[in-house]
């Protein structure tokens, strides 16, 4: 328990006296527990927060940019107001950037704090590494890049050596530039966030971002990021999801920001947000889900893209937000170019049709409690642009073309069950929930937290594949029971079909279901 001052002790004494006046023992006990915990919450020190803010505009000739120096100035001011110690550099040469990084490292060293890099200016990629371009760079070949620019990994290394508990890197550095001929790809490279890190890019890997209207004073991405950081409940993932929405809408899909995260917990830019959240009366999970579901029902069939944007701004990390992202992709196609990752993989786009008439899948089902193995074949017997029906001879399974389960032998889902996020990438986290009406008319609500755990090698009877591994944990709540569930699934990246899936359900601490399916074969009918 944290130490408290005499003022806190006096307040606690008065509060205890009030609580002792309550008649019920449980109420008194609850008050005492609160008073024991409250000082630690209210008086816990805020993290040491240090931000390295760099904005480079004054490049020579045609390389000059309008807004990055303004972006850095505004970002430094905003971060200071949020409790960050800021090391600020505008129009930095390489030696000045490395010196500023050393100052940030020194301020963070041994503090177990939060380190943040914000960089606006020219950036490029070379051999799957990303570089910040100083204003004194004069690069004419790829060999000049590591000599005259600053590897973003140097920032990560400096933060790691400082012993930070969390790192945040924001790169508004994808502007098209005259140094592109020295790079190995357009824009910045897709890099998965190392442990304890949140990476944010102004646009998707391999694409370029707008410098912004000179009249606005800021780049398009930074303009919206500054607005969201001032939100009094600025939770990190919500901040960047709303920024992505705003940039996508403003650019009409030409620029779509991208993030990669390995954070395990929440981070709030406003130090007061966690206290306000703790003090507020939270809705139950069911209430939260049902309220969101009601709003979703009102717009799920709308053909107006603005309805989806409005919904996602309200629920940036809601239980049905990923379904809304799929709908957004259908109504407004991305105008960015999908590029392969380091393994040469381009995940299936969210607006791509997944199932075709005649598709045939053979799976092995393994009961891991009994060891019994059985084989079944499913064939697509109906498919249009919205849904597909699979038959295995005993029952019909219905899926949407976006890969959501609508109906199977266990019931009908509302909304349909989400299996993969709209933008499949390592580190992606999301929530999902649905209401299942069972064949016996019983209703249960299910809630899951999911994440793309990694890019893994999986071996099944069909063969050995590189695959996305998705982990989900949650529960199903019926009228008279509660089941705690865990799922682990491997998806083939190009088609996002299931290669293998394992699930375990437990009720009252006892595992009653533990099974796995494995792909034996997949056959797609050639489409004419």
Q: Domain check: are 35 and 54 in the same one?
A: no
- Going by C-alpha positions, the residue among 428, 467, 473, 434 that lies closest to residue 451 is 428
CA pseudo-torsion sign 138, 139, 145, 147:
negative
Could you tell me if residue 528 is inside a domain? Answer: no
Distance between CA atoms of residues 64 and 61, nearest Å: 6
What number of other Cβ atoms are within 10 A of residue 465's Cβ? 17
Q: What are the residues facing 431 on neighbouring strands? A: 449
Q: Domain check: are 380 and 315 in the same one?
A: no
Q: Domain check: are 211 and 186 in the same one?
A: yes
Q: Domain check: are 253 and 292 in the same one?
A: no
Helix axes of 152-162 and 94-108: crossing angle, nearest 10 degrees: 20
What number of other Cβ atoms are within 10 A of residue 302's Cβ? 13
Structure tokens that stand for 456 in this block: 């893994």
Could you tell me if residue 27 is inside a domain? Answer: yes
Q: Domain check: are 18 and 53 in the same one?
A: no
Q: Domain check: are 90 and 174 in the same one?
A: yes
Q: How far is CA 255 from the centre of its chain?
A: 17
Q: Domain check: are 263 and 295 in the same one?
A: no
In total, how many domains does the chain have? 4
Interval 75-134: pLDDT, tens:
999 999 999 999 999 999 999 999 999 999 999 999 999 999 999 999 999 999 999 999
Distance between CA atoms of residues 169 and 260, nearest Å: 10
Global confidence as pTM: 0.85
**Helix, strand, or coil here: 230?**
coil
Weakest-pLDDT range from 338-352, 401-415, 465-479: 338-352
Q: Is the pLDDT of residue 38 over 80?
A: no
Q: Domain check: are 11 and 126 in the same one?
A: no
Q: Domain check: are 199 and 261 in the same one?
A: yes
Q: Domain check: are 206 and 156 in the same one?
A: yes
Q: Domain check: are 236 and 263 in the same one?
A: yes
Q: Is the pLDDT of residue 218 over 50?
A: yes
Interval 474-494: pLDDT, tens:
999 998 889 999 999 999 998
- Going by C-alpha positions, the residue among 225, 131, 226 that lies closest to residue 173 is 131
Domain end (from 228, 258, 274) = 274
Q: Domain check: are 209 and 317 in the same one?
A: no
Domain range for 16: 6-43
Q: Are strands 387-391 and 373-383 parallel, antiparallel or unpaired?
A: antiparallel
CATH number, residue 464: 2.40.360.10
Distance between CA atoms of residues 245 and 195, nearest Å: 26
Could you tell me if residue 451 is inside a domain? Answer: yes
Could you tell me if residue 351 is inside a domain? Answer: no
């Amino acid at each position: 328990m944290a130490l408290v001052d005499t003022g806190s002790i006096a307040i606690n004494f008065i509060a205890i006296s009030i609580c002792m006046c309550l008649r019920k023992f449980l109420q008194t006990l609850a008050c005492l527990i609160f008073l024991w915990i409250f000082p630690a919450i209210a008086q816990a020190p805020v993290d040491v927060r240090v931000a390295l803010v760099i904005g480079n505009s004054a490049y020579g000739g045609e390389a000059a940019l309008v807004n990055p120096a303004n972006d850095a100035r505004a970002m430094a001011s905003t971060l200071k107001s949020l409790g960050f110690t800021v090391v600020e550099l505008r129009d930095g040469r390489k030696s000045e950037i490395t010196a500023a990084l050393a100052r940030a490292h020194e301020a963070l060293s041994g503090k177990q704090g939060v380190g943040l890099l914000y960089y606006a200016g020219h950036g490029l990629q070379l051999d799957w590494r990303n570089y910040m371009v100083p204003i004194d760079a004069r690069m004419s070949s790829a060999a000049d890049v590591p000599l005259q620019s600053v590897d973003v990994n140097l920032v990560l290394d400096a933060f790691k050596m400082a012993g930070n508990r969390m790192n945040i890197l924001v790169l508004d550095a994808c502007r098209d530039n005259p140094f592109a001929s020295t790079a190995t790809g357009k824009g910045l490279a897709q890099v998965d966030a190392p442990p304890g890190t949140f990476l944010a890019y102004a646009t998707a890997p391999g694409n370029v971002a707008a410098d912004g209207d000179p009249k606005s004073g800021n780049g398009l991405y930074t303009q919206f990021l500054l607005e969201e950081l001032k939100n009094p409940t600025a939770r990190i993932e919500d901040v960047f999801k709303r920024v992505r929405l705003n940039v996508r809408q403003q650019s009409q899909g030409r620029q779509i920001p991208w993030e990669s995260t390995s954070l395990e917990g929440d981070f709030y830019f406003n130090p007061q947000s966690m206290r306000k959240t703790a003090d507020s009366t939270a809705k139950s999970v069911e209430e939260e889900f049902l309220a969101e579901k009601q709003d979703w029902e009102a717009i799920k069939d709308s053909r107006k893209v603005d309805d989806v944007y409005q919904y996602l701004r309200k629920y940036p990390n809601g239980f049905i937000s990923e379904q809304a992202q799929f709908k957004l992709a259908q109504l407004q196609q991305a105008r960015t170019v999908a590029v392969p990752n380091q393994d040469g993989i381009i995940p299936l786009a969210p607006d791509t049709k997944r199932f075709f008439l005649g598709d045939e899948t053979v799976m092995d089902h393994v009961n891991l409690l009994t060891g019994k193995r059985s084989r079944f074949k499913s064939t697509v017997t109906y498919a249009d642009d919205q849904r597909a029906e699979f038959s295995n001879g005993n029952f019909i399974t219905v899926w949407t073309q976006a890969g959501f389960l609508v109906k199977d032998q266990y019931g009908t889902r509302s909304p349909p069950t989400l299996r993969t996020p709209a933008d499949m990438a390592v580190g992606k986290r999301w929530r999902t929930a649905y209401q299942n009406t069972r064949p016996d008319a019983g209703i249960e609500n299910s809630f899951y937290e999911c994440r793309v755990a990694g890019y893994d090698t999986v071996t099944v009877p069909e063969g050995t594949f590189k695959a996305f591994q998705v982990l989900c944990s949650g529960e199903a709540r019926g009228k008279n029971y509660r089941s705690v569930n865990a799922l682990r699934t491997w998806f083939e990246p190009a088609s996002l079909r299931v290669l293998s899936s394992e699930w375990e359900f437990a009720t009252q601490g006892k595992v009653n279901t533990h099974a796995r399916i494995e792909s034996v074969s997949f056959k797609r009918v050639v489409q004419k």
